[in-house]
Amino acid sequence: MKLLEDRIRQDGQVLGADVLKVDSFLNHQVDPDLMTALGEEFYRRFQGVPITKILTVESSGIAPALATGMAFHKPVVFARKHKSLTLKDHLYTAEVYSFTKKTANTIAIAEKFLTAADHVLVIDDFLANGQAVEGLLDIIQQAGATLEGVGVVIEKRFQKGRKLLDDRHIHTEALASIAAFENGQVVFSPDEKE
Ligand code: G4P
Ligand code: NA
Ligand code: NA
C-alpha cells in the first residue's frame, strides 16, 4: 500500500538490525486519517469474507483493529496482557513468548466475547515472529470459532511469522511488506495487490 510505504519511508526509523520504529504514527502517537485508510484497505482485501469479529492484542494492535472494525461495522475485541480486576473468570488464555523481550506473557479474552459462531479476522500492527498471532489462534481454537484471515499493518518478511502463517494456509494480508533493512533503509517487497 503506497500511502503506508511512503509514510514509513518518511517517518520510520530503522533501529539496529531488525526493528522499525514507527511511534510517530502507529505505536505511540497515532495518525487517525492513516488508520482510517488502513481499515478501508483491510476491508477491501477481505471483502466477501463473512467476518463477524475483529481480534487483536493490546496495545499497539488496537488502533488499526478499531479502524478495521469501523470499515466492517463489526465489533473489535482486544486480548488483554495484564491481569484486571474485572477480567478474572471465564477466560480463554494463551502464552505468548516475545523473542524481542525474551519474556512470556499471558493473553486473555473473556469467553463471552468469542464463541463458536464467530468468524474472526485477526489484525495486528507488526508481524515479526508471529507469536502474538499464534496466541490468538490458540484462543480462537479454544472458542471453536473460525479463523477467516490475518491482516497486519507491517510485516517483516525476514522473520519467521509470515512463513508460519503461510505453512498453515492462512489468508494473510500485509499492507506493507519489508524484505530487509539495508544501511538503515527499508527495502519493501513488491506488492502484488496494487
Ligand atoms: P510477534 O508479535 O510477531 O511475535 O513479534 P515479537 O515477539 O518479535 O515482538 C514483540 C513485540 O514487538 C510485539 O509488540 C510486536 O508487535 C513488536 N515488534 C516486533 N517487531 C517490531 C518492529 O520492527 N517495530 C516495532 N515498533 N515493534 C515491533 P508487543 O510486545 O505485543 O507490544 P505492544 O503491542 O503493546 O506494542
Ligand atoms: Na503488537
Ligand atoms: Na508493538
Distances (CA, A) of 159 to 49, 124, 182: 28, 16, 15
Q: pLDDT tens digits, the chain, 194 residues: what are they?
A: 999 999 999 999 999 999 999 999 999 999 999 999 999 999 999 999 999 999 999 999 999 999 999 999 999 999 999 777 676 789 999 999 988 789 999 999 999 999 999 999 999 999 999 999 999 999 999 999 999 999 999 999 999 999 999 999 999 999 999 999 999 999 999 876 65
Q: What is the ipTM of this complex?
A: 0.92
Domain ranges of the chain: 2-188
What separation in Å is there between the alpha carbon of 130 and the centre of ligand 2?
A: 10
User: Closest Cα to atom 7, ligand 1: which residue?
Assistant: 98
Instruction: Check the annotation: does 132 bind a ligand.
Output: yes
Residue whose C-alpha is closest to residue 86's, from 66, 112, 62, 61: 112
| Contact assessment for residue 121 and residue 68, using Cβ atoms and an 8 Å cutoff | yes
With beta carbons less than 8 A apart as the criterion, state whether 170 and 142 touch. Answer: no
- Exposure string over 139-159, b if 16+ CB within 10 A, otherwise e: bbeebebebbbbbbbbbbbeb
pTM, 2 dp: 0.95
Q: Whose CA is nearest to atom 21 of ligand 1?
A: 19
Give the CATH class of 2-188: alpha beta
Q: Whose CA is nearest to atom 19 of ligand 1?
A: 128
DSSP 31: -
Position 46, amino acid: F
